[in-house]
Amino acid sequence: MRLTLFLILASLVLLTSCTGNTQRKQVTLAVVSGVEGEALKQAAADYEKQTGTHIDIAEFPYTNLFEKELIDLKARTGAYDLIMLDDPWFPRFAHEQVLTDLTPLLQKRGKSGPDGDFVETSLALCRHPYQSGALYALPYVGNSQLFFYRKDLFEKYLMKPPATWDDVLAAAKTIQEKESAGANGGQVYGYVERAAQGNAAVADFMPIFWAFGGEMFDANGKPTVNSPQGIAALQLMIDLGKYSPPGYASFNADDVGAHLLQGTAAMSINWPAWISSFSDATKSKVIGKMEFTTLPGAQQPGQAEIGNWLIAIPRDSSNADAAIDFLLWATSAEQMKRSAQRGNPPTRKSLFQDPELVAKYPAYPAQLRSLQSSRPRPRTPYWNEIENAFGIFLSKANSGDLTAAEAMNQANAEIEKILQRAQ
Amino acid sequence: MPKSRRFFSAPNKRELLLPALFLAPALAVLLALSIYPLIYSITISLQQETAAGVTWGLGNFARLFSDNFFLTALGHTFIYAIAALTCEFLLGLSLALLLNSQIRGRGVFRASLLIPMMLPPVVVGVVWRLMLNPNFGAINGTLKQFGINTESLTWTASPKLAMLSVIAVDVWQWTPFVFLVLLAGLQAIPPEPYEAALIDGSSRWQTFWHVTLPLLKPSILIVLLLRTMDLLRVFDQIFILTEGGPGFATETISLYIYRTAFRFFDFGYAAAMSFVLLALTNVISAVYIKFLQAKETI
C-alpha cells in the first residue's frame, strides 16, 4: 500500500517536472495592478507573439506587491524571474542581496552598461549604493512630482507662476480670500495638501523640506530632521494648511485629485498620472485651466521627489538570460514609447522630446525638467519604517496636535531609534 | 504487491491502519496550518535580526516596553474595546428587550437590524469613509441642511473625533450581533419564572433584575466574550477608515502588528506583539468566565 502511494506520488512529481521542462522559454513576471503594470502586461503579450517566449504574469495590488516579492525573494523560491519595484523599496532589496547584478548579463550581450539615453536620476536609483554602485535594475516608468496650479486664477489676479514657497503662500492667500464667494459658485481653497500619516504626508513634505535646505541625515548618517531648516519647512507646510480644505491631515492622493478636478482648490504638488484626467470632461470641471510646472524653491532650488518603477531580476531566478532579453526589449526606446502611449511617463530623454509624444502629452518638457532635477527619498533599507514614523509626526503637526518643533524633535528621536536598532 | 503486505501482517495493525488513514489528512492539515506556524512564530519571536546576524533571546519582548508606538497603540486598543463594548452591550440589550415584547412590526425591525452585521467590515469601512468625508460626505451634508456649521467636524481627519468616529462605526455594525444573541437568550427563558414573579408581586424593575438578568447570564457571557476578542484584534474597518490616523490617533495593536510585519519586515517583533495580545485576550476572557459563572451559582 505504501509502495503504491509512493509510486503515485513519484509519477506525479515526474509528470509536473516534465511539463515544466518544455522547449519553450518561460519567464514569470511580477507586476503591480494599475496603469504601470498594465503597460508591462501588454508589452509582455507583444513579446510573446514576437519571440515565442512564454511570460507568466503575477499581478498584485500596490500594497501587497512589496511583501509578496520580498517574502518570495528572501525565501529563495525562484518564483519570479522579473519583478517590478517602486524605487523606495530598492535599497531594501539590494541590501538583502536578493537581486541579480545586471552588468555581467549586459556584457554577455556586448554592452558595457545601460545606454546613455536613460535619464541620469532614474538610472541612479537602480544602482546600489545609489548612483555609484552595481546595476541591479532598469527604470521603466519615470514619474516625478510636479507643481499643479490654476493658470486662469493666476492670470485673473495678475500673479506670476510661483517660483518660491513664499510665492505659493501669498498666492494661496489671495485666491482663497478673493474666490471665497467664488466665480464657480463656491469656495476655492488656495492650496490642497495631503498629510495622512505615512507616504502621503512625507511625499508632500519632502520638496518643501529640501527647498528649505533640510536634510534627513548628516554625513555620518545621524538623523537631522529637527534642524532649524526642517522646523521652518514644517511650519510653512502648516501655514499652507490654513488655505487647504479642512481635514487635509487625513488626505491621500485621491482626495487631492478630487479637489483639483472639482475646481475647489487652486494649487498642489501631485504626480503626472493625474494630468490626463484634467482634460477628461467626465471627471474635470477645470478643463484647460490647469498648468503643470517644476516645484518652487526657497533657500535652495526646488526639487521634486522622484518615484520611478524599476524592473529587476531576482538573484534566484533560473531564467536570468531570458529575463534580461525581455527587460532590454521592454526598456528599449521603441517599446518604451508604446508604454508612454499607454499612459506611463518614460525614463528616456529621447522620448520626453519625441514630437509625437509631446503633442499628446504637453507637460512632457516640464516633466523632464522635474525628473532631471529630482531627488530620491533617502536611500536606506529602513525607509518604510522611517517614512511611517516621520509621517505620523508630520500628520500630527498638521492636525494641530503638535507644533512644528515638537513634531520634528519627536520624529528625530524615533528615526534615531530605528537606525540604532538596525546596527 | 506481495512485498508490501509483509509490513502489515499482524491483524491488529491492519485494524489500526484504516482509522489512522482516515485521521491522517485532518492531522496533516492541522499540523501544517496550525501547529507548525504556531511553533514557528514562537521561535521567530525569540529572534532579533541585527547587522551582525540573528541573536536569540527575549529582546523583542524587552523592546515592547520602550516602544512608544506600541504602548500608545495598546492604549488605543483598550479605549476602543471598552467604549465600543459598553455601547454595543447597552444598546443591544435595550433593543433585545424592546423587540422581545409584543410591539407591532417587530419582525421588520428584527430583520432590518441585522443588515449591518451581514456586511463585510471592509464594505462598512468604505461606506462610512464616504459618509464621514468632511467635504463631500452625507453626514456633514445633512448637518449643513439643518444649518449646523460643519467646518470643524472633520470626523476621521480630526485627532479629537477620529477615535469617536471609528468606535461609532463599530457600534453601528456590531450592536445587531449583541442584539441577536441576547434576543435568542431572552426567548429561551420559559414563562414560569415570570409568572411566579408576578404572583409574588415584584415590580418590573425587580423582575428584570432578579429574573431576566440572571437567566440571561449565559448569553451575556458568550456575547461579551466574542465581542471582546473581536474588538481587541480589530483591523479591517480602521484600516479602511483612517489607516490608524490622523497621525497615530486610531492606531490599534493589530494595525501596528501588520505594519511591523509586512511594511517593516520585522516578523520577530510582530510575533512578539501578537503573543502579548494573545496573552491579554486570554487573561480578559478568563476574568469574564470566572466572574460571570461564579455569580450564577449564587
Chain B contacts of A1, Cβ < 8 Å? 1, 4, 8
Closest CA of chain B from A368, distance in Å: 31
Chain B contacts of A200, Cβ < 8 Å? none
Chain B contacts of A248, Cβ < 8 Å? 157
Cβ partners under 8 Å of residue A148, min gap 6: A260, A267, A268, A269, A270, A274, A290, A291, A292
Residue A105 in contact with partner chain B when CB distance is under 8 A: no
Domains and CATH numbers, chain B: 66-297 (1.10.3720.10)
Q: Which three cell numbers stand for residue B190?
A: 420559559
pLDDT at A181: 61
pLDDT at B297: 47
Across the A:B interface, residue pairs with CB atoms under 8 Å apart total 104
The whole-angstrom separation of Cα B12 and Cα A422 is 59
pLDDT at A22: 45
Nearest residue on chain A to B262, alpha-carbon basis: A67
pLDDT at A9: 52
Residue B248 in contact with partner chain A when CB distance is under 8 A: yes
Chain A contacts of B249, Cβ < 8 Å? 399, 401
| CB-nearest partner of A247 from B4, B134, B263 | B134
DSSP A83: E
For A203-260, the DSSP string reads HHHHHHHHHTT--SB-TTS-B-TTSHHHHHHHHHHHHHHTTSPTTGGG--HHHHHHHH
The whole-angstrom separation of Cα A56 and Cα A305 is 32
pLDDT at A166: 96
Per residue in B246-289, pLDDT tens?
889 999 999 999 999 998 989 999 999 999 999 999 999 999 88
Q: At CB < 8 A and 24+ separation, what contacts does B87-90 make?
A: B87/B167, B87/B171, B87/B175, B88/B170, B88/B171, B88/B174, B88/B175, B88/B177, B88/B178, B88/B227, B89/B178, B89/B220, B89/B223, B89/B224, B89/B227
The whole-angstrom separation of Cα B15 and Cα A322 is 55
Residue B192 in contact with partner chain A when CB distance is under 8 A: no
Q: pLDDT tens digits for chain B (298 residues)? A: 444 455 555 557 777 888 889 999 999 999 999 999 999 999 999 988 777 778 888 889 999 998 999 999 999 999 999 999 999 999 999 999 988 887 788 788 888 888 999 999 899 999 999 999 887 789 988 998 888 887 778 888 888 899 999 999 999 999 999 999 999 999 999 989 899 998 988 888 899 999 999 999 989 999 999 999 999 999 999 999 988 888 899 999 999 999 999 989 899 999 999 999 999 999 999 998 888 775 554 4
Closest CA of chain A from B261, distance in Å: 9
CA distances to A89, B60, B266 from B50, in Å: 19, 12, 11
| CB-nearest partner of A399 from B151, B247, B262 | B247
pLDDT at B298: 41
pLDDT at B278: 94
- Using an 8 Å Cβ cutoff, are B47 and B41 in contact? no
Give just the sign of the alpha carbon dihedral A245, A247, A249, A251: negative
Nearest residue on chain B to A413, alpha-carbon basis: B68
pLDDT at B11: 59
Chain B contacts of A382, Cβ < 8 Å? 264
Q: Which three cell numbers stand for residue B202?
A: 415584584
Residue B246 in contact with partner chain A when CB distance is under 8 A: yes
Residue type, A149: Y
Closest CA of chain A from B146, distance in Å: 19
Residue type, B82: I
Residue A66 in contact with partner chain B when CB distance is under 8 A: yes
Contact yes or no for A246 and B135 at CB 8 A: yes
ipTM of the complex: 0.81
Pairing status of strand A134-135 against strand A82-86: unpaired
Chain B contacts of A245, Cβ < 8 Å? 134-135
Cβ partners under 8 Å of residue B131, min gap 6: B137, B138, B139
Q: Does the predicted model carry a pTM greater than 0.90?
A: no
- Which residue out of A7, A250, A255 would a mutagenesis test of the B interface target, given it has the greatest number of B Cβ atoms within 10 Å? A250
Chain B contacts of A422, Cβ < 8 Å? 50-51
Q: Which three cell numbers stand for residue A187?
A: 469656495
Half-sphere exposure of A246 (CA within 13 A, CB side): 18
| CB-nearest partner of B247 from A4, A66, A396 | A396
Chain A contacts of B162, Cβ < 8 Å? 250
Closest CA of chain B from A304, distance in Å: 24
Q: Which residues of chain A have pLDDT under 50?
A: 1, 13-22, 182-184
Chain A contacts of B156, Cβ < 8 Å? 247, 250
- Which residue out of B136, B144, B265 would a mutagenesis test of the A interface target, given it has the greatest number of A Cβ atoms within 10 Å? B265
Q: What is the largest CA-CA distance in chain B?
A: 90
